[in-house]
């Protein structure tokens, strides 16, 4: 049996023969790369992503903050964790998480800890998202103005075990929400 503690993703850097921006977007670009792989060459196009953060805000009675907003690519108002881009130069992920919790939910947290990080769609983009567990939740000093998809965000506090059940039942399919609530449930089990 393999050493399960040694089981991990491994860096691998094949020679990039050519790389260019194939499409320049408003938020993200699409890169077009030719890479030497084995005895041949492969071509891959992918979204070059800034990275992101998400927040699993947990209140004192074990409820998780969920937000619902419209997502055009899937034509749904899906349930999500508060989240946002790492698009401020030099901003540390935890600081971006603090900013996003205030911007999307008008909340602040007294305690922050890394929960889990994940590549969201490694076959199609290079995004890594850092999910933080935030506790000691209170109202932010001021409300944040919202526009576009954020203008009609719905906010709900849901018992963590109910959010886990909704994920496992397939009623909530957002990947970041799924990873976050399952990781938080395991973290709390490990602590008790």
Q: Which residues are catalytic?
A: 150
8 A C-beta contact, residue 65 and residue 131: no
Task: Give the residue among 160, 137, 132, 154 at the shortest CA–CA distance from 63.
Answer: 160
Q: CA angle, 40 as apex, 34 and 42 as ends, to 5°?
A: 30
Q: Quick one: tokens of 38?
A: 């084995």
Contact 175, 73 (CB under 8 A): no
């Amino acid at each position: 049996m393999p050493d399960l503690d040694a089981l991990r993703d491994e860096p691998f850097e094949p020679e990039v023969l050519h790389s260019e921006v194939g499409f320049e977007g408003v938020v993200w670009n699409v890169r077009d790369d030719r890479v030497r792989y084995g005895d041949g060459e492969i071509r891959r196009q992918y979204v070059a992503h800034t990275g992101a953060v998400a927040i699993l805000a947990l209140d004192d009675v074990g409820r998780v903050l969920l937000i619902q907003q419209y997502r055009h690519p899937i034509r749904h108002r899906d349930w999500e964790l508060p989240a946002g881009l790492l698009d401020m130069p030099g901003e540390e992920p935890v600081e971006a998480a603090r900013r996003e919790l205030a911007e999307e939910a008008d909340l602040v947290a007294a305690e922050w800890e890394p929960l889990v990080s994940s590549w969201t769609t490694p076959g199609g983009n290079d995004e890594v998202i850092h999910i933080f567990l935030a506790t000691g939740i209170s109202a932010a000093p001021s409300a944040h103005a919202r526009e576009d998809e954020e203008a009609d965000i719905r906010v709900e506090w849901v018992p963590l075990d109910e959010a886990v059940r909704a994920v496992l039942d397939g009623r909530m399919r957002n990947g970041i929400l799924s990873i976050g609530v399952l990781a938080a449930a395991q973290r709390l089990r490990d602590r008790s």
